[in-house]
A and B are shown apart, each in its own frame.
Chain A
């Protein structure tokens, strides 16, 4: 069974802090994704990566960056956290050319 693990379940950070959200998958998936989930807005794609050191912008990349130095790990970075980035963040992964997605359990980030 594929596991997508997000390092923190809950996180509270202060405005202006640099925040790292970590995601690790254990099934050698090529593709990894970061989504933001807000009530009434569904799942919105922030960034995704097809391979190590590769990244593509999703629908809402502003205020975020990503890093993929190893195949199994995909990090989401908030350079200077703001209160409007308070949200649930979901990581997902999939094999190249595969239809199936596996989601992590999510990190609920609160910026105060």
Chain B
């Protein structure tokens, strides 16, 4: 099965700095890579995703890059703000019976200091 490694487990930055979270995956059949943000006491919510036919995707201050050859993908947050503080999960998934069952990383706790 798929194995997703996520680093770092904790990331502390000053407001305005950039933050980068990295993930690796093992199954070359994986072709969809979502990122979820979970604020304290709330449900995980999808913030950005990328499919394997694309190398990079941006949405305002967040971007995701994918290197299929190396089997790694990263989340980049620029100009961090205190409201970016949360736990971030990466995931990798491939079709299984017509549906996608993601395997999640262990999460990164991002702390943005004002």
A interface with B by C-beta (< 8 Å): 30-31, 33, 40-45, 48, 50, 59, 90, 94, 96-101, 103-106
Contact = CB atoms under 8 A, between A and B. Distances in A.
A99 B32 contact: yes
B43 interface: yes
Contact of B46 (A40, A90, A100, A106): A100
A31 B99 contact: yes
Interface residues of B, number: 24
B85 to A, nearest CB: 16
Contacts of A59: 1
A61 B88 CA distance: 25
A43 B98 contact: no
A96 B99 contact: yes
Given A97-B98, A99-B34, A105 B43 contact: yes
B107 to A, nearest CB: 5
A45 B104 CA distance: 9
Q: Which 9 A-B pairs have the closest CB atoms?
A: A42-B106, A43-B104, A103-B43, A42-B104, A42-B107, A105-B43, A103-B44, A97-B98, A31-B99
B102 A101 contact: yes
Given A97-B98, A101-B102, A42 B43 contact: no
Nearest to A45: B101
Interface of chain A: mostly helix, strand, loop or mixed = loop
A59 B103 CA distance: 10
17 contacts: A31-B99, A33-B101, A42-B6, A42-B106, A43-B44, A43-B89, A45-B101, A45-B103, A50-B97, A59-B1, A94-B99, A94-B100, A98-B100, A99-B49, A99-B93, A100-B46, A105-B43
A103 B45 CA distance: 7
B42 interface: yes
